[in-house]
Amino acid sequence: MFLGNEMITVENNKLKIDGFDVSELAEQHGTPLYVMSESQIVKNFTRYTEAFKEYSEKTGKEFIVSYAYKANSNLAVLKILTNLGCGADVVSGGELYTAKMVSVDSSKIVFNGNCKLEEEIIMGIETNIRAFNVDSISELELINEVAGKLGKVANVAFRINPNVNPKTHPKISTGLKSNKFGLDVEAGIALKAIKMAKEMKNVKIVGIHCHIGSQLTDISPFVEETKKVMDFVVSLKEQGIKIEDVNIGGGLGVPYDKNTEIPVQKDLANAVINTMLEYADKVELPNLIIEPGRSLVATAGVLLGKVHHIKETPSAKWIMIDAGMNDMMRPAIYEAYHEITPCTIRDEKEVVNIAGGLCESSDVFGKERELPKIEVKDTIAILDVGAYGISMANNYNARGISKMILTSEDGAYTIRERETYADLLSKDIIPPKYL
């Protein structure tokens, strides 16, 4: 039932996370409530390092995991990963600030995004990050200009658009020609940018970057991506341009749906490493960087909501919980599927719809789900929400962002306080003339 959630068990018909009774956690901390599992985060990260260590062993080159902060940038989650040796893939000044707050090694920080601001570029240069992943020629020119004003040289990698179909939801595809990201290789734009960089005084070319999409459930797009990147690296060598780093991005999916077969970290590593090694006689192999987000934290997170009302209509039985689409947007914007379970498991089953209380018809977490019978005051768990859950939460309908706790082997800790009504208004100002 619980596919990637090794921290979840059922004992005496009660759902448990890392041994903690989930209903008791909800009672103690209130709902809506995010629960993150330290043990699951550690397991997910370790699977990457174990799977890819062969690359360093066979090539003598560096392998770096730079976690995609957009997936979940809670400081406690980031600190767990930093302590394991993880780097950071950041896409804003705010994410870079949080990376500095948890003391990420600057040589493991890469800065992505297609619209970097001057103040963000200054932050990156002053932090001495590993590289800006350049997304456009105008951005390259701005980085060179800013670095010149600072009297520094900025490391740059070039995000190429390989026109690879990632076979995922269109809204999370990033490597097709029609997407907004990257420098086109086939049209010669990427090469033009790199040649311009060679003539610039305040940038240093260090790498090639590529990211083709999120929630990939097939390894073949990664193989196609890696081949296109390495073909480009070989072509650059022929023009006297050496590439030190290759960053293939992230995107490995997680098993939200038990009917979808998902490759694991070892599958990805075997495919990428074997593809890279095919180029060993053509070019000096580079350091390898990957940017997983979802596959590090999604399965480590659960969102708890309390059942306040049950309503039967001519078409369905509705279970109304106090978590809503403001707490977790994915079902509303991506039609995303998440496993749902009551935390008290009864023998009788029924088909129900699970919905939040916001004034939006799309505020629904699941329709026509066959679940153990649910009663008012039960706690409902929505699984696999550790990625793109709280990081996309908002204050729609004047609702505060949920509390978050972390379960570990030595206790359960609050890692984000619940927002209050006062928090909602803390940045609003009424001009004096209206008072």
Beta strand 287-290 pairing with 245-247:
parallel
- Provide the H-helix boundaries in 216-303: 220-237, 265-277, 294-297
170 labeled binding residue: no
Rounded to 5 degrees, what are φ and ψ at 306?
-95, 140
Cβ contact 129:110 at 8 Å? yes
Tokens at 268, concatenated: 């990805």
369 labeled binding residue: no
- Provide the H-helix boundaries in 60-136: 75-83, 93-101, 118-127
In angstroms, the Cα distances linking 260 to 133, 222, 256, 265 are 32, 18, 8, 16
- Contact residues for 270 (Cβ-Cβ < 8 A; gap 6+): 51
148 labeled binding residue: no
Concerning whether 343 is annotated as a catalytic residue, the answer is: no
207 labeled binding residue: no
Residue 107 DSSP one-character state? G
360 labeled binding residue: yes
Beta strand 20-21 pairing with 183-184:
unpaired
330 labeled binding residue: yes
Dmax over CA atoms of the chain, in Å, equals 75
130 labeled binding residue: no
Catalytic residue among 115, 210, 343, 359: 359
42 exposure class (CB count in 10 Å sphere: 0-12, 13-18, 19+): middle
293 labeled binding residue: yes
Residue spans of beta strands (DSSP E) within 22-94: 33-37, 63-68, 87-90
- Contact residues for 40 (Cβ-Cβ < 8 A; gap 6+): 5, 6, 7, 299, 300, 386
87 labeled binding residue: no
Residues annotated within a binding site for pyridoxal 5'-phosphate: 251, 291-294, 388
* Catalytic residue IDs: 359
Residues annotated within a binding site: 251, 291-294, 330, 334, 360, 388
Residues annotated within a binding site for substrate: 294, 330, 334, 360, 388
